[in-house]
Amino acid sequence: MICLSGCASSKPVESENATQSIVIGFSQSGTESSWRKRHTESIRTELEKEGYEVLYRNGYMNQDRQIQDIRSFIVYQVDAIVFTPLQEDGWEAILEEAAQAGIPVFVVDRHVSVNDSSLFLTHIGPSFKAEGNRAGLYVSNYFRGQSNTTINVLELTGLDNTSPTQLRSEGFRETIQRDLAQNNVTIQVQDAIGGDFIRRKGKEVIETYIKEGKMASIDVLFSHNDEMTIGALEALEETDIVPGKDLIIVTIDAQKEMIDNLKKGLVNCVVECNPEAGVFVKNAINRYLKRGADAIPKEIYVHETVFSSDMDFSQIPPRNY
Ligand code: AHR
């Protein structure tokens, strides 16, 4: 194993055959969705293909467990830590431990909220705000042309205190509000209910919402991930509401099952959240090893797109998650 202590250095740190003995600790937050499983696979595969030794730990959606996993990497003196945080807060102390040990930290997918941004080298992930913007844009385009109408949205949010939940909400609201000024259509978020990014929870909260008699006034369901949308669709099966027609559904991730639902007309718009982070992580680590910390941008975005019911489905690339 090569010791990369002094990791914040801007000096190149790679020798000719350095990748052969470099150990990367990879702490994943959980396995709550097909998206997450593909995300894990993508990172592990790319790093292993590159010849890195990967120590993988699953946090099972438990922050304390993830902290222990990262501590075990520090004790092991890994050369770099790749870390996908369960939530934003609560990482300061463990990241300080990593910094003191001179181990660079690559934050992937969700973001961390820390006062000292030098505690991580870079953040690699989607623009969650742009995903929310795309969802909002679909809704405002869908209702464009109507006038003096109020469209009620039910937002099914992800786990609290996470960047995807906060930024998808923010991006969505920003776009529907911007559109408000231009058209005479009022699009408003009537209610926001939490489903933690989990299918079962998504189903439960939608069932409760239906039982409370609130679903009748909802025109659009904006769901923060496909797993919760699948749960919501199951709950809707018990009603007369026809998904995709009586209720416009916009969902995020683009898992294979949801693209199939789009083709069947059960949902109207699928905003992609790209889980293929592996190549970006591998490139960032390689670049760091060759050229040092100064060569790494603080934010690295993965590319993403959007799929909707009005498109030519043959253009949708095959999904592997
Ligand atoms: O952090 C990304 C989100 O987490 C994905 O949208 C979701 O499916 C996963 O659980």
- pTM comes to 0.93
Render pLDDT for 18-60 as a digit per residue (tens, 0 to 9). 545 899 999 999 999 999 999 999 999 999 999 999 999 999 9
Render pLDDT for 193-237 as a digit per residue (tens, 0 to 9). 999 999 999 999 999 999 999 999 999 999 999 999 999 999 999
The response to whether residue 36 sits with its C-beta less than 6 Å from ligand 1 reads yes
The response to whether residue 272 sits with its C-beta less than 6 Å from ligand 1 reads no
Give the distance (Å) from ligand 1 centre to CA of residue 269: 17
CB 274 within 8 A of CB 34: no
Give the distance (Å) from ligand 1 centre to CA of residue 107: 15
Neighbour-count burial for 66-76, b at 16+ CB within 10 Å, e otherwise: bbebbeebbee
The response to whether residue 253 sits with its C-beta less than 6 Å from ligand 1 reads yes
pLDDT of residue 184: 75
Q: Sketch out the chain's domains with CATH numbers.
A: 2-126+274-304 (3.40.50.2300), 128-273 (3.40.50.2300)
The response to whether residue 110 sits with its C-beta less than 6 Å from ligand 1 reads yes
Give the distance (Å) from ligand 1 centre to CA of residue 36: 6
Look at residues 37, 20, 18 and name the one whose alpha carbon lies nearest to residue 29: 37
Q: Which residues of the chain have pLDDT under 50?
A: 1-12, 15-16, 19
The conformation of residue 20, written as its DSSP 8-state character, comes to: G
CB 69 within 8 A of CB 56: no
